[in-house]
Structure 1
Amino acid sequence: MPTHVPIAEVPRAKPPLVPLATLIGRELRNEKLEKPFVKYGQAALAKKGEDYFLVKTDCQRIPGNPSSSFSVFAIFDGHNGISAAIFAKEHLLDNVLNAIPLGASREEWLQSLPRALVAGFVKTDIEFQQRGETSGTTVTFVIIDGWTITVASVGDSRCILDTQGGIVSLLTVDHRLEENVEERERVTASGGEVGRLNIFGGNEVGPLRCWPGGLCLSRSIGDTDVGEYIVPIPHVKQVKLSNAGGRLIIASDGIWDALSSDMAAKSCRGLPAELAVKLVVKEALRSRGLKDDTTCLVVDIIPSDRPILPTTPRKKNNILTSLFIGKKSPSSTNKAANKLSAVGVVEELFEEGSAMLAERLGKDLPSDRNAGLYRCAVCQVDQTPGDGFSVNSGPFFTPGSKPWEGPFLCTNCRKKKDAMEGKRPSRHTVTV
């Protein structure tokens, strides 16, 4: 009999953040710490045909310099059609990279990623809205640079991290109205209505949805027929692995409606990624059947001196321990495990999930002051100050601040920001 595992996970304690500069410095001082191998597998079973992959293992921060390589893995789970998922697959990466300052060092590049991901998601959503189509998509977008993993997500796809020692960590937040109380409150405060479907006789059925539109998610790219309080601003998390490596499982809700994070990780341990991903999909199908598009990527970050991640010894964990990041497994206290540089320890660099654009873009103001030009933090277009507005009407505004302090937003992006915060009427419903 199919079983349904709720999306909601047990809350985990937040460890202190580790400065990125500290970790980069450790790498530079440790000559033996080479870049890991990245190996992956992908598998999918289609029910509606609205899920899409993005896999790029040959990206370069500095064009023509292989030592600056990084990898991108993403899943786009479309709904109400495929247009938004395809559009995001084709444009999101470029929009993110265009928001990173040119000539940045690796440390600066990694530090810029969280803000660039926010700008890239919002720009992609604005561009898709201009097409006047009504489809939408979730996005789980993963960038791997050496031992540093940065994950941005909207919707209910998910990315988990399984490290040596059996510690399973959730790197995303589910934006389902049914489970996320904070997101429900944000949507209603911005002007949306949250409720279930009403059928004949007044009975309510199904999950909580946002009206108009009836979407059960609070964040997505697209969904032009829903109010703009359904935002494209992603939750972003950045972590750094120890040199023992780890495994990512990135999947659409067809997997997570059937399997918990721990079940998915346990189902494929000890197998290479190309076999592991098939086993995860098979386990989800066995548990629930093919009720939805079921799409999965398994990505292994492997030390350069090992062809495959070592098998994780089976041990008993309580559910709270399995969700902690930064907690060493009991086995890491012995001398053998210490040789692997704190096996299972994941150092958290950054995490932010606010839906307020001003809070996510910071106060830096990219500009060419000599030419009197200011660059929009979202669309990356240079304009004179008179052509747009500052974000300073938000929580960062103080009586002593200057009205042009940033980040600068052009007129169109400022209108988008105001609509997402319920400060102006949302876009009209598009009919096709």
Structure 2
Amino acid sequence: MLFDGHNGSGAAIYARENLLKNVLRAIPTCFCREEWLAVLPRALVAAFVKTDKDFQAVAETSGTTVTFVIIDEWVVTVASVGDSRCILESADGSIYFLSADHRFDSNPDEVKRVTACGSKVGKMDIVGGPEVGPLRCWPGGLCLSRSIGDLDVGECIIAVPHVKQVKLSNAGGRIVIASDGVWDDLTCEMALDCSRGFSSDVAAHRIVNEATRPRGIRDDTTCIVIDILPPENIAPIPSPPKRPSRIAFNNMFRRRSLDVPFKTNRSEYAEPDVVEEIFEDGSPMLSKRLTTGYTLEKIFAPSSCAVCLVRLKSGEGISVHANPLQHEKLQGWQGPFLCLSCHEKKEAMEGKRRPRGSSTNVFGHMC
């Protein structure tokens, strides 16, 4: 896990101490490994939102980026908010992005989402001079569209993470996770080139040194390097053949349907350089993120909130599909369900906050 805090360290410390516990609580303990991996993306979404909601209840205004990496044999799952990047170099030297960049400057979709929620996105306006610096959200001046915390910026800054899950071949690979202090000065290729052939701990030090060498430390500069290798080959990852590095984007992954069971036999692949995408979703819509993929009734108990897991009395649960401005009941099991406070947070994050003074209606049927 990598946390890059801003406006104080409170959010980063709180997320470090609570996020993993919230992820584990969101997955039924009776699940086998294949089921656990299949529901992990949904559990990460619920845990990020719960951690954000609980921290904001403390009324502290600090915030943090989060890059959360879970490795289970050859399966790597990454959940991220903010601008701390996670990349993978496969055995053949291909580079894969496992996280998303939620800076306004590099994400026009997030600019549209935040402005649609009623906030303004623009550069800092100096009286009597030109606008300067990166795009920021106003009020608040945050240059990120997603984070944990940041109570003072507004509800358009959300904690719904981008999640990607991939499976490496049995040739393994190297994962580099670093804060923006590294990526502001190094490209992915530069970071990998300066550290290739070294052990993971030495590689991390070399990347930080390379990033801070030209102009010194100007920002938090943190790096974690993880080598995923077969047990018989525990050594620094070798240099790939000399050839131009290529960056592999989403459409170059070999995709697997979520309905296909996981297989992690180490001899499954004949090709040493195959990286298979199992899952990816970066939608900001909490209702969509909680209802995709695995059989919902097996993940979410109908008597508990899908985010904070508080027990719900009969008739208390509000379906994530419910439209608070419509007065029609949904038919059948329409879970997962949310408690009132989590439903209000969902509506606020999705830009659907209800007018003041309006009443809340409970929809859906809890079996």
Q: TM-score, normalised by structure 1?
A: 0.74
From 135, 146, 149, give the equivalent of 1:219: 146
Counterpart of 2:307 in structure 1 is 378
1:188 aligns with 2:115: yes
1:289 deviation in Å? 2.4
**Paired letter, 2:110:** E
* Structure 2 Cα separation of the partners of residues 109 and 403 of structure 1: 26
The 5 A counterparts of 1:39-54 are none
Counterpart of 2:263 in structure 1 is none
Q: Is the 2:26–2:43 contact (alpha carbons within 8 Å) kept by the matching residues of 1?
A: yes
Are residues 161 and 367 of structure 1, via their aligned partners in 2, closer, same or farther at CA, if it must alter by over 3 Å? Answer: closer
Counterpart of 2:317 in structure 1 is 388
Counterpart of 2:47 in structure 1 is 120
From 264, 276, 290, give the equivalent of 2:191: 264
From 286, 304, 308, give the equivalent of 2:231: 304
From 348, 354, 357, give the equivalent of 2:277: 348
The 5 A counterparts of 1:20-419 are 74-317=1-244, 319-320=246-247, 325-326=252-253, 341-362=270-291, 364-365=296-297, 374-393=303-322, 401-402=330-331, 405-419=334-348
- Deviation string, structure 1 residues 149-187 (Cα, Å, up to 9, x no partner): 000000000110011111111100100001100000011
Q: Is the 1:160–1:170 contact (alpha carbons within 8 Å) kept by the matching residues of 2?
A: yes
* Structure 1 Cα separation of the partners of residues 278 and 268 of structure 2: 23
- Deviation string, structure 1 residues 77-135 (Cα, Å, up to 9, x no partner): 00000000000000000001100012101000000100000000000000000101000
Q: Is the 2:306–2:338 contact (alpha carbons within 8 Å) kept by the matching residues of 1?
A: yes
Are residues 309 and 346 of structure 1, via their aligned partners in 2, closer, same or farther at CA, if it must alter by over 3 Å? Answer: farther
Task: Indicate the RMSD between aligned Cα atoms, in angstroms.
Answer: 2.4
| SS across alignment from 1:374 | coil
Q: Is the 1:177–1:184 contact (alpha carbons within 8 Å) kept by the matching residues of 2?
A: yes
1:421 deviation in Å? 1.4
* Structure 1 Cα separation of the partners of residues 213 and 126 of structure 2: 32
* Structure 2 Cα separation of the partners of residues 162 and 381 of structure 1: 41
Q: Is the 2:181–2:222 contact (alpha carbons within 8 Å) kept by the matching residues of 1?
A: yes
* Structure 2 Cα separation of the partners of residues 297 and 136 of structure 1: 21
Are residues 167 and 388 of structure 1, via their aligned partners in 2, closer, same or farther at CA, if it must alter by over 3 Å? Answer: same
1:424 aligns with 2:350: no
Question: Larger % of strand: which?
Answer: 1
Q: Is the 1:221–1:231 contact (alpha carbons within 8 Å) kept by the matching residues of 2?
A: yes
**Paired letter, 2:132:** V
Q: Which moved more, 1:378-387 or 1:342-351?
A: 378-387
Q: Is the 1:241–1:345 contact (alpha carbons within 8 Å) kept by the matching residues of 2?
A: yes
* Structure 1 Cα separation of the partners of residues 300 and 140 of structure 2: 39
Are residues 205 and 426 of structure 1, via their aligned partners in 2, closer, same or farther at CA, if it must alter by over 3 Å? Answer: farther
- Deviation string, structure 1 residues 372-430 (Cα, Å, up to 9, x no partner): x6211101122124223111136xx9x99527511101101001001111222799xxx
Higher-RCO chain (CA-CA 8 Å, sequence separation at least 6)? 1
1:278 deviation in Å? 0.8
Q: Is the 2:79–2:99 contact (alpha carbons within 8 Å) kept by the matching residues of 1?
A: yes
Q: Percent identity?
A: 55
* Structure 2 Cα separation of the partners of residues 280 and 288 of structure 1: 14
**Paired letter, 2:4:** D
Counterpart of 1:57 in structure 2 is none
**Paired letter, 2:86:** C
Counterpart of 1:9 in structure 2 is none
| SS across alignment from 2:80 | strand
Are residues 82 and 171 of structure 1, via their aligned partners in 2, closer, same or farther at CA, if it must alter by over 3 Å? Answer: same
| SS across alignment from 1:375 | coil
1:325 deviation in Å? 4.7
* Structure 2 Cα separation of the partners of residues 193 and 103 of structure 1: 46
1:318 deviation in Å? 5.8
**Paired letter, 1:380:** L
Are residues 188 and 116 of structure 1, via their aligned partners in 2, closer, same or farther at CA, if it must alter by over 3 Å? Answer: same
Q: Is the 1:166–1:322 contact (alpha carbons within 8 Å) kept by the matching residues of 2?
A: no
1:340 deviation in Å? 7.5
* Structure 1 Cα separation of the partners of residues 188 and 221 of structure 2: 15
| SS across alignment from 1:386 | coil
Are residues 238 and 367 of structure 1, via their aligned partners in 2, closer, same or farther at CA, if it must alter by over 3 Å? Answer: closer
Are residues 235 and 339 of structure 1, via their aligned partners in 2, closer, same or farther at CA, if it must alter by over 3 Å? Answer: closer
Q: Is the 1:390–1:403 contact (alpha carbons within 8 Å) kept by the matching residues of 2?
A: no
* Structure 2 Cα separation of the partners of residues 426 and 128 of structure 1: 25
**Paired letter, 2:350:** E
* Structure 2 Cα separation of the partners of residues 172 and 367 of structure 1: 26
- Deviation string, structure 1 residues 39-73 (Cα, Å, up to 9, x no partner): xxxxxxxxxxxxxxxxxxxxxxxxxxxxxxxxxxx
